[in-house]
Homo-oligomer: A and B are copies of this chain.
Amino acid sequence: MHFSSVIHILGLLLIFLSATMLLPIPFSLYYGDSDYQALLISAAITLAVGFLAYRLAKFEQDLRPKEGFAVVSLGWIALSIYGSLPFIFSGAIPSFTDAFFETMSGFTTTGATILTDIEALPHGILFWRSLTHWLGGMGIIVLSIAILPFLGIGGMQLFKAEVPGPVADKLTPRITETAKILWVVYAAFTFLETLLLMAGGMNLFEALCHSFGTMATGGYSTRNASIGAYNSAYFDYVITLFMIIAGTNFSLHYRFLKGDLKAYFRNKEFMFFLSIIGLAFLLIGTDTFFQEGVTVSKAIQDTLFQTVSIVTTTGYGTADYEQWQFSSQIILFFLMFIGGCAGSTGGGIKVVRIYLLIRFIYSEVIRLIHPHAVVPVRIGKTVVNREVVANVVGFFILYVFIFSLGVFIMGHLGLDIPTAFGSVAATLGNIGPGLGNVGPTDNYAHIPFIGKWILSTLMLMGRLELFTVIILFSPTFWQK
């Protein structure tokens, strides 16, 4: 391990982070809040630490996979530590555990909050909170499309040929190019959503914050009642649309914008993603469409919004789905595991992996009937490499194991069964709200101290596709 190079890059990341801490300041000043001070102090500290790391640790050589893993995991942790400073210094979240949880939840685009009264926070802090989502989303796009495939992880390997620009053989050269293209797409959609939300009556502050939360599939709102506070069909449908966009592979958007108008419909994963949303919507609808005291159009709107919000792992809320029948809650629970498409900002297992697992089971069945046949696993007409299949399968098993271990630990911290299952599913899948006492109308404030650290770790693991974090626990990794 070349620690020096790793620390050098982490320094760079912190310098970048300190600059972003200045972005909320105009809003703080405009609304006459005093939180700009906390932001300034935080930015100064982060800059100083970042600069020291950058200058004192030399970038010694090209990064190998080992350093790649370390940069990614330690990077997300470092950003969450320093990103929590504005919350602490402003007094919005005095406890470091809570502030770290909130920031990790932001940067991993989870959206699980420990805040009990969001609207009491000053505007600069609220803006910073939503901005952590957006920055996290930027990181995830470059991570999932450019870095993880190089490291041998992640659903995007399955689309190697489809990534705009060939996947880099070494970490550095091509990544920046790919990243820039996709960031432009990401920023353009954010801008468009902001405009549409403002057209519906939100002010710039609210529109930006909610666009950050949508495009990052994060879910932090500026309102206690989340999107439900606006009680607006227009906002609901605009945000539903952009949640679907955010849950889609960004390289598909790129190809569409380049003029390949059928890009979406030729993509097996995207079509499977839409089918899942459609099916879940209809199944939940058998329960929700005909509730007493709710008009059918409002019920359709809520059902679609919640289905999309959960499967894209955004976590915005317009209805308390814990009031729905158990059957609907069970569907939402399973959607938490599926997640968005590979190469999107969504979390969870990812649609393409679920698709591949089904194909894998199918190939195993065929192999039992014809023991001597060679039965490759395919996506469409493309044969998927054995190593990639093994990686996807390993990911799924690891996901189930880590989920089980998480539920086991949370149960031992005294959570009841639905809360233990819901909190782990919602953090590991980077959704935000779960079931039980961490449902859509609750928050994570009451989770015990150790539980908050466990859930923060699960958010990080889920976000970095498990292996990136797990690998750090392997002694082999640290050997010379």
Of A283, A327, A371, which is in contact with the most chain B CB atoms at under 10 Å from its CB? A327
**A388-418 with Cβ < 8 A to chain B:** 390-391, 393-394, 396-398, 400-401, 404, 407-408, 411-412, 414-418
Q: Which of A69, A393, A467 has the most CB of B within 10 A?
A: A393
Q: Do B369 and A391 have beta carbons less than 8 Å apart?
A: no
Give the residue name and chain of the B residue nearest to A435 (CB). B417
Residue in A283, A357, A368, A396 whose Cβ sees the most chain B Cβ within 10 Å: A368
- Asked if A383 is at the interface of the complex by the 8 Å CB criterion, the answer is no
- Chain B nearest CB from A455 CB (Å) reads 16
Residues 282-327 of A at the B interface (beta carbon under 8 Å): 283, 326-327
Q: Which of B397, B404, B412 contacts A361 (CB 8 A)?
A: B397
Q: Is the CB of A65 within 8 A of B417?
A: no
A420 touches B369 (CB 8 A): no
Contacts A151-B368, A408-B334, A476-B369; A361 near B329 (Cβ below 8 A): no
In the complex, A470 has a CB within 8 A of chain B = yes
Q: Does A471 contact B (CB under 8 A)?
A: yes
CB-nearest residue of chain B to A331? B408
- The reply to whether the CB of A365 lies closer than 8 angstroms to some CB of chain B is yes
Whether A420 lies near B326 (C-beta < 8 A) is yes
Is A330 in contact with B367, judged by CB distance below 8 angstroms? no
List residues of A (366-387) whose CB comes within 8 Å of B's CBs: 366-371, 387
Q: Which of B397, B404, B407 is A393 in contact with, Cβ under 8 Å?
A: B397
Q: Closest residue to A407 on the B side, CB-wise?
A: B330
The answer on a CB contact under 8 Å between B420 and A417 is no
Determine the chain B residues whose CB is within 8 A of the CB of A357 once the complex forms.
397, 401
Contacts A393-B393, A397-B357, A397-B361; A416 near B326 (Cβ below 8 A) = yes
Q: Is A160 an interface residue (CB 8 A)?
A: no
Q: Which of B408, B415, B467 contacts A364 (CB 8 A)?
A: B467
Which residue of chain B has its CB nearest to the CB of A368? B152
Say whether A66 faces chain B, with CB atoms less than 8 Å apart. yes
Instruction: Flag if A474 contacts B404 (CB, 8 Å).
Output: no
A328–chain B nearest beta-carbon distance, Å: 8
| Docked CA distance A38–B411 (Å) | 49
Residues from chain B with a CB closer than 8 A to the CB of A416 are 326
Contact B474 A330, beta carbon cutoff 8 Å: no
Contact A330 B365 (CB under 8 A): no
Cβ of A390 to closest chain B Cβ, rounded Å: 6
A–B Cβ pairs within 8 angstroms, 19 of them = A65-B368, A152-B367, A152-B371, A153-B368, A326-B411, A326-B414, A326-B417, A330-B408, A357-B397, A360-B394, A360-B397, A361-B394, A361-B401, A364-B398, A370-B476, A396-B397, A396-B400, A397-B397, A400-B400
Given contacts A330-B417, A367-B390, 19 further A-B contacts (CB under 8 A): A65-B371, A152-B371, A326-B420, A329-B411, A334-B404, A357-B397, A358-B401, A360-B394, A361-B398, A364-B398, A365-B474, A366-B474, A366-B476, A369-B476, A369-B477, A370-B476, A393-B393, A393-B397, A417-B418
